Amino acid sequence: MRHLIIASLLASLPWSLSAAPTWQVISSEPGKRIEIDRTNLKREGTIVQAQGRVVLEKELIDGRSGAGYRVIEAITRYDCTTRNATTIKRIFKKNETDIVREEDIKGAELPVRSGTLDDKVLREVCRPPRENQAELAKKANEAGNDLKAANDAMLKKGLAKAEKPAALKASETPAKEDAIPVPSIRPNLKAAADAAREASPTPPPSPAAKPVAPPPAKAQTYIIHAAPAAKPKKASRPEGYMLELTHSEPAVQHAHIHWGYEGAGAPENWSKLDPQNKACAIGERQSPIDIKDGIKVDLEPIKFNYQPSTFRIVDNGHTVQVQVGEGSISLTGKSYELVQFHFHRPSEEKINGQRFDMVVHLVHKADDGQLAVVAVLLERGNENPFIQTLWNYMPLEKNMPVSPPNAIVDLNTLLPTSRNYYTYMGSLTTPPCSEGVLWLVMKQPVQVSPEQINIFSRLYRNNARPIQPSSGRLIKEGR
């Protein structure tokens, strides 16, 4: 909950009031360089809001405005603890000064993969600031001085005892209160407890308590707490961090209604669970849709750049999600890095009114933050070796990822023989339902066995969002 509060505060900060950016190059690659503005970093705990940009050598054409651009600036919120990133604004520029287009984004929080643009920026902005390092050094020096003083006091006490007559009787030993106290760098918990007992009246004896049955186990949610809840203290009033926890407790209780596909968290309620999910209810370019009545044209082939690699598989409470090694797709001169892929049953999208048994969504992200999702439809048929390898390492528990060291998968083997596809502009199919997502739905389905479908159904019998209105969107179909 604390992270959600911090993220909201950072998002509300007016970017227009920031100082003029001072760009610093952090990475140079063939055809582009990556820069960040260190003067306008906004930090709150482990959350950092940063402005970065990609400067291209060759001009690209903006699909919405039709104008050319060479600079993409992005304002992104990074969580240095979880290594997640959320893009909140993008600016396309023809050059250093001429703006082609700006867009505010209600983006989803996505994991940052090693070697990507976001990874390079995250590593830079998540380094502790120099002033923090100086403060830590100061505290360490103060603790060292206290410890040195304590050691000196102990040495003086020992020398004083050695100089006294050896015939000193035990009864004549100096009283304990005469001993020189040793400064401690730890809090005096005993003194605090004694003070609390003195400040509070002794409660009357209570009758024998009856044994209380433990509460039923709750389903795991994605609420991130800053610290475990502490037992109530007898202090007169909460202060500091405890005050924050006390005030935020009702919001935490409400947040336990997590989004899902049934009950209070079902798709029709997503927009009510979190203000950031409002696009789920009012968006006009939502996904999935029934793909029909498209125009048939000669679409540019998608260039898939996947390599065999190890993988990491997790049941995240909504689906089975997999991350593999480096991979990307290229389309119309633009490259999108593979972030992760996951499964839905049944397929979320329809083709001319027909649903398929399952679908796998391969989520990619470009340097400018735009998402592109490749959808591979799965139909009942022969066993799929790629899927079987994943199922062999299915985690036994939710949110407990498995990374088999010797198992290798090749995403190219999951793709259909024909690479023809449908394409349209839509949204994420899960909260916050962010729009501006490029969808690439493969026309030819891939076969999976009934047993492989049943294995996934044991975990998720239905994790598909209902069909959304197409609202007259243009759909293109490769011919």
- Pairing assessment for the beta strands 358-366 and 334-344 based on DSSP bridges: antiparallel
pLDDT at 239 over 60: no
Inter-residue contact 355 to 450 (CB < 8 Å): no
Tokens of 174: 């100096």
Of residues 158 and 210, the one with the higher pLDDT is 158
| Rounded mean pLDDT, 273-301 | 97
pLDDT band at 26 (very low <50, low <70, confident <90, very high): confident
- Angle 372-376-377 from CA coordinates, rounded to 5°: 135
Inter-residue contact 37 to 19 (CB < 8 Å): no
Q: Cα separation of 286 and 471, whole Å? A: 9
**318 belongs to the catalytic site:** yes
Inter-residue contact 74 to 52 (CB < 8 Å): yes
pLDDT at 233 over 50: no
Helix (H) / strand (E) containing 426:
strand 421-427
Would you say how long the chain is, in residues?
Answer: 479
Q: How crowded is residue 284: how many other Cβ atoms within 10 Å of its Cβ?
A: 12
pLDDT at 302 over 50: yes
pLDDT at 232 over 60: no
Q: State in Å, rounded, how far the first CA of the chain is from the last one.
A: 49
* Predicted pLDDT at 247: 37
3-class SS string, 111-166: ECCCCCHHHHHHHHHCCCCHHHHHHHHHHHHHHHHHHHHHHHHHHHHHHHHHHCCC
Give the model confidence (pLDDT) of 79-98 as tens digits. Answer: 887 788 888 888 888 888 88
- Please, what is the average pLDDT of the chain? 79
Question: Whose CA is closest to 409, among 445, 454, 373, 362?
Answer: 362
pLDDT at 216 over 70: no
Buried b vs exposed e over 150-164: b needs ≥16 C-beta within 10 Å?
A: beeeeeeeeeeeeee
| Rounded mean pLDDT, 178-200 | 48
Q: Which residues contact 176 (CB under 8 A, 6 or more apart)?
A: none
Tokens of 302: 């998608």
pLDDT at 8 over 60: no
Question: Whose CA is closest to 426, among 460, 377, 463, 476?
Answer: 476
Segment among 114-128, 226-240, 274-288 with least mean pLDDT = 226-240
* Predicted pLDDT at 386: 98
Active-site hit among 225, 247, 318, 361: 318
* Predicted pLDDT at 108: 66
Tokens of 51: 């402005």
Longest dimension (CA), the chain: 109
* Predicted pLDDT at 5: 53
pLDDT band at 237 (very low <50, low <70, confident <90, very high): very low
Q: Cα separation of 340 and 363, whole Å? A: 6
**Could you give the residue range(s) of every CATH 2.40.128.710 domain in the chain?**
2-13+20-130
Question: Whose CA is closest to 222, among 263, 249, 255, 269?
Answer: 255
pLDDT band at 371 (very low <50, low <70, confident <90, very high): very high
pLDDT band at 225 (very low <50, low <70, confident <90, very high): very low
The CATH superfamily of 2-13+20-130 is: Surface-adhesin protein E (2.40.128.710)
| Rounded mean pLDDT, 108-126 | 77
* Predicted pLDDT at 182: 46
Give the model confidence (pLDDT) of 69-79 as tens digits. Answer: 888 888 888 88
Segment among 78-82, 117-121, 180-184, 439-443 with least mean pLDDT = 180-184
Give the model confidence (pLDDT) of 384-440 as tens digits. Answer: 999 999 999 999 999 999 999 999 999 999 999 999 999 999 999 999 999 999 999
Segment among 100-104, 277-281, 310-314 with least mean pLDDT = 100-104
The CATH superfamily of 283-478 is: Alpha carbonic anhydrase (3.10.200.10)
Q: Cα separation of 468 and 439, whole Å? A: 14
Inter-residue contact 275 to 431 (CB < 8 Å): no
Of residues 62 and 447, the one with the higher pLDDT is 447
Strand partners, 312: 323
Q: Which residues contact 164 (CB under 8 A, 6 or more apart)?
A: none
Q: Cα separation of 388 and 451, whole Å? A: 10
Inter-residue contact 130 to 107 (CB < 8 Å): no
Question: Whose CA is closest to 123, among 84, 87, 80?
Answer: 80
- Locus of tokens 């998402």: 371
| Rounded mean pLDDT, 245-267 | 67
- Specify the amino acid at residue 149: A
pLDDT band at 342 (very low <50, low <70, confident <90, very high): very high
- Angle 354-358-364 from CA coordinates, rounded to 5°: 105
Inter-residue contact 281 to 363 (CB < 8 Å): no
For the chain, percent of residues with pLDDT exceeding 70: 69
| Rounded mean pLDDT, 344-350 | 99
Give the model confidence (pLDDT) of 39-57 as tens digits. Answer: 788 888 889 898 889 888 7
| Rounded mean pLDDT, 294-301 | 97
* Predicted pLDDT at 441: 99
pLDDT at 195 over 70: no
Q: How crowded is residue 29: how many other Cβ atoms within 10 Å of its Cβ?
A: 11
| Rounded mean pLDDT, 344-355 | 98
**Could you give the residue range(s) of every CATH 3.10.200.10 domain in the chain?**
283-478
CA dihedral 285, 461, 310, 392 (to 10 degrees): -170
| Rounded mean pLDDT, 187-207 | 49
Q: Cα separation of 122 and 116, whole Å? A: 10
| Rounded mean pLDDT, 280-286 | 97
SS3 373: strand
> Which region holds residue 472: left if phi is over 0, alpha if psi is between -120 and 50, else beta?
left
Inter-residue contact 203 to 197 (CB < 8 Å): no
